[in-house]
Structure 1
Amino acid sequence: MRHPLHPALVHFPVACWSLATLADFAGLWFGETAWQWSAGLLAVGCLTALAAMTAGLMELARIPDGPALRDTYWHMGIMLAAFALFTARLLIGQDHLQPLAPDALALAIDALGFAALAAGGWLGGRLVYGHGIGR
Structure 2
Amino acid sequence: MKHPLHPALVHFPVACWSLATLADLASLRWAPAWHYAGPLMAAGVVTALAAMAAGFVELLKLDADHPANADAYRHMLLAMTALCCYGASLFLRLEGMTFTRPDAIGIAVGAAGFIALCLTGWLGGKLVYVHGVGVGRTRAPGSKDGDRPSRTT
TM-score category (smaller protein): over 0.9
Structure 1 or 2: larger helix share? 1
Structure 2: runs of 5+ lacking an equivalent: 136-153
Question: Could you tell me whether the CA contact under 8 Å between 2:92 and 2:102 is conserved in 1?
Answer: no
Specify the code of the residue in structure 1 equivalent to 2:103: D
Please, what is the CA RMSD of the aligned residues?
1.1
Superposition deviation, residue 119 in structure 1: 0.5
Structure 1: runs of 5+ lacking an equivalent: none
Specify the code of the residue in structure 2 equivalent to 1:36: H
Q: Which residue of 2 aligns with 1:124?
A: 124
Question: Could you tell me whether the CA contact under 8 Å between 2:6 and 2:52 is conserved in 1?
Answer: yes
Q: Which has the larger radius of gyration?
A: 2
Superposition deviation, residue 21 in structure 1: 0.5
TM-score normalised according to structure 2 size: 0.84
Show structure 1 runs of 4+ deviating over 4 A: none
Identify the structure with bigger relative contact order (alpha carbons < 8 Å, sequence gap 6+).
Answer: 1
Superposition deviation, residue 61 in structure 1: 2.1
Q: Which residue of 1 aligns with 2:73?
A: 73
Deviations 1:53-94 (A, max 9, x none): 110111112224243011000000011000011011111111
TM-score normalised according to structure 1 size: 0.95
Q: Distance in 1 between matches of 2:31 and 2:119?
A: 29
Identity, in percent, stands at: 52
Superposition deviation, residue 51 in structure 1: 0.3
Q: Which residue of 1 aligns with 2:113?
A: 113
Specify the code of the residue in structure 1 equivalent to 2:69: L
Q: Distance in 2 between matches of 1:98 and 1:61?
A: 38
